[in-house]
Amino acid sequence: MSKDAQFYIIPTPIGNLKDITLRAIEVLKSVDIIACEDSRVTQKLLNHFEIKTKTISYHKFNEKERVNLFLELLKEGKTIALVSDAGTPLICDPGAILIEELIKNNIKITSLAGASAITTFLSQVPKGGEEFAFVGFLPKTEGQIFAILQKFAHTNTVFYESPNRLLKTLQYIKKFNPSAKVAVGRELTKMFEEIVVDEVQNVIEYYKKNTLKGEIVAMVYKKENTEFSQTDLLKKINLLKQKKFGSKEISTILATLYDINKNDVYKSLI
């Protein structure tokens, strides 16, 4: 492997082209090849910043077959940058297979900081804590969505959704928990950027009356257990301690019996 072999992961703007970093422009101009999801999308960005670097398509349908090509180019000492259509590559975008092979072949990988729809969204909505679960695009069936909502019932759950599916997804969320609170962000960083935070029924009614366009990031707020106070929790913990149960056992027992977040029980234990 040539000592000059270098692979870059480059975030690109999620809407506003001014959000690209100076370093990203510099690297995209300096590498030998840019691997991109859709060359037509990427070319618009490259043209805007007068970047002449050659592009090669790399998407979920040719991901495996491109791996050997990129490895050969890197062995020749070429430098390659990976971009997605928007945002940070490998976050719900192809690249995992390639990165795994690059690591196996001891190829240096450098990831640049930059745009991400997830952090852009989360930085402008109230969360009531830092913990969240990102689940990518939700599955399409009711049962699969319910399974995810149940799994992360006590964690803020962030997901991507398409505008033509959002209302149906919100209906599933309402069916799972009629009192659920949600946040929806769309057209982030663009002229018509919008963030809506409300009970799920109100958000459904809002989007029945307003046009849905653009990429969407949304969050289902964690379920708060209002019927089980901190005092009740501590009483149960002390009772189980007297019975000689360990911390992990206590966390599991109380989380199972009272539908409490296991982490919340553990924090009270310590």
Q: Which of 113, 85, 123, 90 is nearest to 22 (CA)?
A: 113
Q: Is residue 3 very low, low, confident or very high in pLDDT (cuts 50, 70, 90)?
A: low
With the C-alpha atoms ordered 150, 153, 155, 159, is the resulting torsion angle positive or negative? positive
pLDDT, tens digit (0-9, with 9 covering 90-100), for 133-156:
999 999 989 999 999 999 998 899
Q: Taking each helix axis from N to C terminus, what angle separates 142-151 and 166-176, rounded to the nearest 10 degrees? A: 60
pLDDT of residue 189: 96
pLDDT at position 46 over 80: yes
Q: Is residue 241 very low, low, confident or very high in pLDDT (cuts 50, 70, 90)?
A: confident
pLDDT of residue 129: 86
Residue with tokens 């799972």: 176
Pick the more confident residue, 35 or 4: 35
With residue 219 as reference, give the H or E element that holds it. Answer: strand 216-220
> Can you list the pairs that 263-267 forms with residues at least 24 positions away whose Cβ atoms lie under 8 Å?
263/131, 263/154, 264/154, 264/233, 265/233, 265/237
Q: How many of the other CB atoms lie within 10 Å of CB of 245?
A: 16
Hey, is 80 helix, strand or coil? strand
Per the prediction, the chain carries an average pLDDT of: 91
Q: How far is residue 166's CA from residue 152's CA, in Å, rounded to a whole number? A: 19
With the C-alpha atoms ordered 100, 114, 219, 41, is the resulting torsion angle positive or negative? negative
pLDDT, tens digit (0-9, with 9 covering 90-100), for 155-195:
999 999 999 999 999 999 999 999 999 999 999 999 999 99
Mean pLDDT of 118-124: 96
Please give the model's pTM, rounded to 2 decimal places. Answer: 0.80
